[in-house]
Amino acid sequence: MDKAKFRSMLRCVIVLAVIALCSGLLLGAFNILTYVDPLKSTYERFAADTGATFSKMTDEEGKEYSDGSVVYYAVSDDGVYHAFLAEGKGGYGGTVQLYVYISENKIVKVVLGENSETLWATFEDDFFDQFRGLEINQISSFLPSDITTSSTAKKSIRAIGGAIDSVVKYYNETAGGENNG
Amino acid sequence: MDKRKVKETLLGGLLKNNPTFVLVLGTCPTIAMTTSLAQAFAMGIATTFVLIFSNLFVSLLRNVIPDKVRIPCYIVIISTFVIIVQMVMRRYLPDLYSTMQAFIALIVVNCIILARAESFASCNKPLYSMLDGVSMGLGFTAALCVIGIVREFLAGGAFAGMKIPGFPAMEGVGASAFGFIAFGCLMALFNFVIRKVNDRKERLKKKELPLSEGKVGTMEEAA
């Protein structure tokens, strides 16, 4: 191999490797500075959305279902709210996280969490209000076709439906059973 | 530092070379993120941050980076700052981050940033490159905010999230198709105003120019 060509190639590799290494170190430092403990941030979110206090997570492991999963589940200290962090599969940009709050077997609030969907502008401003009042113990599952919207973002709707369905199933199997027990 | 060059660099991105209305770069985030003023402003600020620091580092390393691998090097530098923006937003602005997440990541491939790294930062000193980043970023932010105000007002009868009494929301105006129409109309208006101002300046210049300094006169005038 030509020596000059080899040197030029080696220089390219070294420069790119050094830049990538520096970039990695910088990102590592920023990660330490901005790291958010997922459990702590979920507690904070549950408390901010409901106004109640949550001192322990009832289920840190969660449960996987066909179209989504329950990531975390907690009951407020006063026992009024059942709070869920649920994920729906099959969104346009992957999974869609929802915070779902249940009180007296009814959904009282649904808040959008992390997601990579791009069509939120096509949804109505009060889109998540339609879930309010849904009696969880009266249904066994929730389908995306149960969602009312003029948006054509089918994949996002499917993911939202999957997240709600996971909460319905989990609540009726575990949390609802405890509550009613 | 050359004052004239500083002025030219600073004003360039805002008016003469506005990335949105004149260079027509970064159209994807322009349409996607201008449904409300808050989102448009956040996107503009995030892009400005990435522009400033990517321009600075590309300029600092311009004599070190070999020509053959300059684009991968620029992309590594740009993506580093985009991830920093993501980390900071995730930590301090989680609500805004949850709605903008997909588009923040896409700043990496925003052509304004790569274009400025390639055409300006790679052949200018670090300070000028930073100024170019500030100017281009502010020009982009200003354009996004103007489009955001118009779209939010027409689609929701609101300004910065606050409903304006007496102005009803118009259904369908919030859609991307109307975004393109609003973008086009504002672009035409911006360029019309800039052209008028430039024409006026040139007319004034010509009037001020005396005959002895090169003005082409008629034979009658010379006589």
ipTM given for this complex = 0.78
The residues pairing with A58 across neighbouring beta strands, listed in sequence order, are: none
Question: What is the full DSSP assignment across A21-59?
Answer: HHHHHHHHHHHHHH---HHHHHHHHHHHHHSS---S-SB
Residue A162 is predicted with a pLDDT of: 94
The residues pairing with A97 across neighbouring beta strands, listed in sequence order, are: A87
Contact A16 B105 (CB under 8 A): no
**Smallest Cα–Cα separation from A105: which of A163, A56, A172, A170?**
A172
Structure tokens at B13: 């991105």
CA distance B189 to B195: 10
Say if B218 falls within a structural domain.
Answer: no
- Domain containing residue B20: 3-209
Structure tokens at B176: 């991307």
Residue A180 is predicted with a pLDDT of: 45
Confidence of residue A175 (pLDDT cuts 50, 70, 90): low
- Please state, as a whole number, how many other Cβ atoms lie within 10 Å of the Cβ of residue B92: 11
Residue A181 is predicted with a pLDDT of: 36
A141: Cβ contacts below 8 Å, ≥ 6 apart: A165, A168, A169
Contact A114 B101 (CB under 8 A): yes
State the distance between the two ends of chain B, measured CA to CA, in whole angstroms. 48
For residue B100, list chain A residues with Cβ-Cβ distance below 8 A: none
How far B44 CA sits from the closest chain A CA (Å)? 17
State the distance between the two ends of chain A, measured CA to CA, in whole angstroms. 78
Residue predicted with more confidence, B18 or A176: B18
Say if B217 falls within a structural domain.
Answer: no
The model's pTM = 0.77
Residue B168 is predicted with a pLDDT of: 74
* Statement: residue B214 has pLDDT above 60: no
Residue predicted with more confidence, B168 or A98: A98
Contact A8 B66 (CB under 8 A): yes
For residue A116, list chain B residues with Cβ-Cβ distance below 8 A: 101-102, 105
CA distance A65 to A164: 11
How far B213 CA sits from the closest chain A CA (Å)? 54
Say if B50 falls within a structural domain.
Answer: yes
Q: Is the dihedral of CA B94, B100, B102, B106 positive or negative?
A: negative
User: B54, B63, B91: which to substitute to probe chain A, counting the most A Cβ within 10 Å?
Assistant: B91
Confidence of residue B213 (pLDDT cuts 50, 70, 90): low
- Please state, as a whole number, how many other Cβ atoms lie within 10 Å of the Cβ of residue B194: 15
Residue B126 is predicted with a pLDDT of: 94
CA distance B131 to B48: 11
For residue A112, list chain B residues with Cβ-Cβ distance below 8 A: 98-99
Beta carbons of A91 and A158 less than 8 angstroms apart? yes
pLDDT tens-digit series, residues A32-83: 999 988 888 888 889 999 999 888 888 888 889 988 999 999 999 998 999 9
CB proximity B27 to A under 8 Å: no
**Smallest Cα–Cα separation from A73: which of A180, A169, A181?**
A169
pLDDT tens-digit series, residues A79-135: 899 999 999 998 887 889 999 999 999 999 999 988 877 777 677 778 999 999 999
CA distance B205 to B202: 5
Beta carbons of B13 and B161 less than 8 angstroms apart? no
Count the domains in chain B. Answer: 1
What value does the mean pLDDT take over residues A165-173? 92
> How many beta-carbon pairs under 8 angstroms link A with B?
73
What value does the mean pLDDT take over residues B141-166? 86
CA distance B206 to B59: 39
Question: What is the full DSSP assignment across A134-148?
Answer: -BGGG-S---GGG--
CA angle A41, B33, B17 (to 5 degrees): 130
For residue A31, list chain B residues with Cβ-Cβ distance below 8 A: 87
What value does the mean pLDDT take over residues B47-57? 96
**Percent helix, strand and coil across chain B, each to the nearest 5:** 75, 0, 20
CA distance A76 to B183: 48
Which sequence spans correspond to the domains of chain A? 1-35, 39-180
